[in-house]
Chains A and B, each alone.
Chain A
Amino acid sequence: MLHDQLKDATADQHARLDALPFFQALQAGTLPAPAIVTLLRGLAIVHAVLERAVTQSADARLAAVASATSPKLPLIVADLERLDVAQTPSITPAIHAALDCGAAILRRAENPLSLLGTLYVLEGSQRGGDVLRKAYAQCLAVPADQLSYWGCYRQDTQARWAQFTLSLNALTCDEGDVAAVTDAAVRAFEWFTRICSALYPYTEQQLKQHVTAVNFEAGDHAMPQAPGEMELALRAGRDAWDRNPYLEMRFGDRGRRFTSSDSCWLVTLIHLPETQGVRSLEWLRSVLASRGISTVILGIYLQCILRLWMDEGFGATASGPGLARFLADREAERASLGYAVPVVERYERRLARCSGLTVPSAATLIASAWVDERAGIVGALSSTLDWFTDQNRFTPEWTDIVHKLLAELDTLTGAVC
């Protein structure tokens, strides 16, 4: 039976993991909070990759087993929010190990059965979670019922595990399949051993703000480390988000998380010399514009950041020459392309009067995507337009006005040229 084979194949790694100082400190009630918070962040990285890969897979056997589980990522996100630990630094080697683990899962996802091995290890970890939840809560000095990830099935834990193992054993597997599943499970234990070894003991130098604390899908990029800068970045991100309802409408919670992480990265650019700051922003511009986030939104981010930066008195340390220059360049670019604000505003009013769903600043966003495309970002316009002309979302009147706006912009360019 597959379950027995998995149990035998992973017994040694399981024992090695359980014997780590991390778990000894946890049981003794002495595990420091950053180790637990970082573990949750690492688990968010791994679960995000795994759950997305499982959902995207068309493999019937994987789907059959996965249906016996429930997604854990929302629980981890909720726990982190309840613990209110956004400013708590991460133990970076453990985060790097979690990112490597996520990358390894992705690389092996070509064979869906490898996902099954990882799923087995993570699902199995819920069994001890009920006991561990109390220990984690004690270390964090919070009531145990505030933690929802560990032991998430509560009184149904044993029944859910029985159902899961039953679905595993019901699979038809040849020798190669079994090898793929067990190999992935052994590797998953090895990854978690690496992560937990890095979590405890740790050194003060390893404690840093890492981007995955604000967005578990952001990978690994620069974060502001100076006191107050990260908080400023998050506030600026929230301001920019509130000023662009389109982001919420189109990208939802995932977009909100990327707004936070992007905002943090943008703040780090303030310290760069002008040329490198501008090049970095041009790079991000092309990344965003290709995904339906036209440059006018990036401009709003930068304005929010610069305003807060100056208001909060950070201006003495750096002035963000790259950010200011980038904004000035965009203004010049719009002028050179014949971008006419009155025209865009006229269409803004027309779109606002449409029946059905409307999006604030839609004409500005579309016109900005049009500028991006003209500036050489291939696909910028279509990635915005596809959404704004989706007939399942908007009325024919709306899409008709959008097309007229584009036609008029094209005419204006012709006049400039």
Chain B
Amino acid sequence: MLRWCGYCQTFLGEAPPFDKLVITHGVCETCAELALDFTPQNIEHAHTLQDILAELSLAGSRADMQAAKAAIRTATAAHMQPVDMLLGLVAPLLFEIGEEWRKGRITVATEHRFTEFFEQVFALLEPRALALVGTPSGATGQPDALVMNAWGNRHTLAARVLSLWLGARGLRTQLLEPPPPPEEVAAIIIRLQPRMVFVSVALSEHIESVRALADMVSSIPESHRPRFVVGGSAVKMGLVPDTPGLELVPDIHDLNLEAAV
């Protein structure tokens, strides 16, 4: 389920079951402090979001960029931020496409075409998201966070969306795409000393390389050692075993980012 704030239309994260793309509403902390109550408009807004999700899905199945643009216009009119559209609509749809393949409803070719389509949607939304953040992630200064795919995970969209989302939350991020060899990443971590390293894993076996990287930087004093946050579809589906030194996070919204800023 996808949770959105009923008042400010910020994406709040996901809730189990992760494979059900149903929009539900909650209240973000800021709006909760204002002690707002749910209104009929909130319910109507939930329907609007569900409609946008359906429109985007249909646009993807037809590779119809004009329809996608129309859905984005509707979302913008509903006061949704570009980065929330990416994380709260596009990313779940990509997960859903993987599920459709698992269920034998679409072919690999269709899955690839969907991905290509959402790459174009990303290209459309990325500049808008960056414009709102102010400066491109990691453009200046030392990064608070490194974002990368696990070696072997070639689905790059999730890491790019995450990088934008972290930027929107005030973190200076640096995206390592494609990920350099592990020794090189370890050297980057030691040199730049980010507070967090985010790694996206699509398959359970990808975790081995991340664990190896975490081992490589274990010589850094604990006070300066980054947190290794691991997410992605394999974590969401519970396929990755608990691993010492790695934080498995099915939903990025559950993570306390304050320490990293």
Contacts and interface: CB of A to CB of B under 8 A. Distances in A.
A221 B63 CA distance: 28
A171 interface: no
Interface in A72-116: 96, 99-100, 103, 106-110
B240 A107 contact: no
B103 A106 contact: no
B146 to A, nearest CB: 22
Nearest to B242: A273
Contact of B238 (A220, A222, A279, A383): A279
B103 A107 contact: no
Nearest to B112: A106
B70 interface: no
Interface residues of B, number: 21
B205 A279 contact: no
A220 B204 CA distance: 12
A187 B102 CA distance: 30
A405 to B, nearest CB: 23
Instruction: Label chain A's interface by main secondary structure.
Output: helix
Contacts of B115: 107
A96 B151 CA distance: 11
B116 interface: yes
A209 interface: no
B190 interface: no
B241 A276 contact: yes
Interface stretch (A13-21, A39-47, A189-197, A285-293): A285-293
Given A107-B113, A110-B63, A220-B152, A276 B104 contact: no
A379 B103 contact: yes
Interface in A271-325: 272-273, 275-276, 279-280, 283, 286-287, 290-291
Given A53-B109, A106-B112, A107-B113, A279 B104 contact: no
A268 interface: yes
Interface string B78-122: 000000000000000000000000111100110011011000000
Given A106-B108, A378-B103, A272 B113 contact: no
Contacts, number: 60
A222 B205 contact: yes
Given A103-B112, A110-B63, A286-B103, A279 B154 contact: no
A290 B237 contact: no
Instruction: Label chain B's interface by main secondary structure.
Output: loop
Interface residues of A, number: 29
Nearest to A269: B204
Contacts of B105: 290, 379
A276 B205 CA distance: 11
Interface string B196-230: 00000001110000000000000000000000000
B257 interface: no
Contacts of B205: 221-222, 268
B109 A276 contact: no
Contact of B102 (A106, A275, A287): A287
Contacts of B237: 279, 283
B241 A291 contact: no
Nearest to A284: B102
B103 to A, nearest CB: 5
B31 interface: no
A221 B241 contact: no
Contacts of A272: 204, 241
Interface string B112-156: 110110000000000000000000000000000000000010100
A275 B112 contact: no
A103 B154 CA distance: 11
Nearest to B208: A222
Given A222-B203, A272-B204, A276-B241, A96 B63 contact: no
Given A106-B113, A220-B152, A276 B239 contact: yes
A145 to B, nearest CB: 36
A283 B239 contact: yes
Contacts of B239: 276, 279-280, 283
Contacts of B152: 220
A313 B112 CA distance: 42
23 contacts: A53-B109, A103-B154, A106-B109, A107-B112, A107-B113, A107-B116, A219-B108, A220-B152, A222-B204, A272-B204, A275-B241, A276-B238, A276-B239, A276-B241, A279-B237, A283-B102, A283-B237, A287-B102, A290-B102, A290-B105, A378-B103, A379-B105, A383-B104
Interface of A: 53, 96, 99-100, 103, 106-110, 219-222, 268, 272-273, 275-276, 279-280, 283, 286-287, 290-291, 378-379, 383
| CB-based closest 5 A-B pairs | A290-B104, A222-B205, A107-B116, A106-B112, A276-B241
Given A107-B116, A109-B109, A222-B204, 7 more contacts: A53-B109, A99-B154, A106-B108, A221-B205, A276-B241, A280-B239, A379-B105
